[in-house]
Every structure is written in C-alpha cells, then in structure tokens.
C-alpha cells in the first residue's frame, strides 16, 4: 500500500465515534520522501473544515517556526496522532488514539523519516514514551532503530505561554542542525 491508498482508506474510516462529527479527515500533508516528520495531536476547527493539518492559529505559528529554520511544508511531512477532530478540541481519548494511531504507524512505515519531532505532550506520550514530561524532556534526542526523536512545545501552548518560545526556538535549532542524522539517499530533507 502507498500513502495515497492509505489516505483513501483513512478518509472513510468509521473505526471510532469521532467520524460522526467530522467534516474532513485530516490525514497529513507534505513530502512523501521527507526525512523530518512532525507529529501534532489532532485536528482543530480550521483543520476539520479544510482537511489540512495546522492551518489555524497554531498552524500559522508552526509555519513561522519552520521558516525560522529555513524549512518549508514541501520539505517535511506533518501528521497528527488522531485524524478526526475531537468535539470542543478536547484531548483524544486513549481508546480513540489507540485505534487511530495505526494510521500514523503506517505513515511512518511508508515515509521512513530519519527524524520525528513531537509537538506537545500528547504526541510525545504516544510516540516517545508514555510518561513523557514535556518541560523536563523537550529538546533531548532519543533514538529507536534508525529514527531520531525529539519533542518541543505544541504551538497552541506557545500561543498561550509566549514566554516558552525561547525554549522552543532552542529545540528548532536542534532540528535545524539534525542534518548529522540525515542520510537519505535521495537527498531530500
């Protein structure tokens, strides 16, 4: 199965009740050969309406952070732990995430990123380890297999706590200098 086929399957998913309230499945966006995969939590209102991840206010901040380290959405891939918007933007329930995360695992298998950046605590808990402490553990590299993992604050948290932007900037500089890990044969980022 390729990414397009997986997206098609995901777009008609009814495996958890979140499908009932969605306008669009937000599968993911970006370069299928990206070396860097960013993982957020789940779609908000704007993402649900457009079907594209990180297009609301937090997405605008995310774009600025990418730009600051000279990356564009065409070079990276961005996806979420869950693909349908939880009502009122609540955190995904464990039973929803448990079902939906298989799509993300398949995306990871197909894209084969060298670097995974978790945006916020929820993504970090599901992807790095389950008692992840974002304040203490952000900005630190870990490795599983051939993939290097790092977490930073979620952009929507940074909108609420702008004093944390300096730390997020340090994390993005780590990501910028992660080319030491980038050894993809096709030369893409």
How many CB atoms are closer than 10 A to CB 37? 25
Interface with ligand URA by CB under 6 A: which range of 7-15, 51-59, 69-77, 125-133?
A: 51-59
Q: Is 44 in the site for ligand URA (CB under 6 A)?
A: yes
Count of residues in contact with ligand URA, rule CB under 6 A: 13
Q: Which is nearer to ligand URA, 60 or 181 (CB)?
A: 60
Binding residues among 69-98 for ligand URA as defined by CB under 6 A: 80
Region binding ligand URA by CB under 6 A among candidate stretches 11-19, 52-60, 64-72, 94-102: 52-60
Window of 9-17, 47-55, 65-73, 138-146 that interacts with ligand URA by CB under 6 A = 47-55
Mark the segment that binds ligand URA (CB under 6 A) among 39-47, 93-101, 126-134, 161-169: 39-47
By CB under 6 A, residue 28 contacts ligand URA: no
Distance of CA 130 to the CA centre of its chain: 16
Interface residue with ligand URA among 43, 86, 113, 139 (CB under 6 A) is 43
Return the axis-axis angle of helices 165-176 and 57-68, rounded to nearest 10°: 50
Of 113, 133, 136, 114, the closest CA to residue 125 belongs to: 133
Q: Which is nearer to ligand URA, 62 or 149 (CB)?
A: 62
CB of 49 to ligand URA, least distance (A): 12
Which of 100, 105, 111 shows the shortest CA–CA distance to 127? 105
Cα Rg, the chain, nearest whole Å: 15
For position 53 contacting ligand URA by CB under 6 A, the verdict is: yes
The DSSP code sequence of 72-129 is -TTTSEEEES-SSPPGGGPPPPHHHHHHHHHHHHHHHHHH--SEEEEESHHHHHHHT-
Structure tokens at 160: 């609420």
Binding footprint of ligand URA on the chain (CB under 6 A): 26, 40-44, 47, 53-54, 58-59, 80, 156
């Amino acid at each position: 199965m390729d990414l397009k086929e997986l997206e098609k399957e995901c777009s008609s998913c009814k495996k958890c009740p979140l499908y009932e309230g969605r306008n669009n499945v937000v599968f993911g966006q970006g370069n299928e050969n990206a070396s860097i995969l960013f993982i957020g939590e789940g779609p908000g209102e704007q993402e649900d309406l457009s079907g594209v991840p990180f297009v609301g206010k937090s997405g605008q901040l995310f774009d600025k952070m990418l730009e600051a380290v000279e990356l564009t959405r065409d070079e990276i891939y961005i996806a979420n732990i869950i693909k349908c918007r939880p009502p009122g933007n609540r955190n995904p329930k464990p039973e929803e995430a448990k079902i939906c995360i298989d799509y993300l695992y398949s995306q990871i298998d197909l894209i084969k990123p060298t670097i995974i950046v978790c945006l916020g605590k929820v993504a970090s808990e599901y992807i790095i380890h389950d008692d992840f402490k974002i304040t203490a553990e952000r900005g630190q590299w870990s490795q599983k297999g051939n993939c290097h993992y790092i977490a930073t604050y979620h952009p929507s948290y940074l909108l609420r706590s702008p004093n944390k932007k300096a730390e997020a900037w340090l994390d993005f500089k780590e990501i910028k200098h992660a080319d030491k890990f980038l050894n993809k044969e096709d030369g893409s980022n």
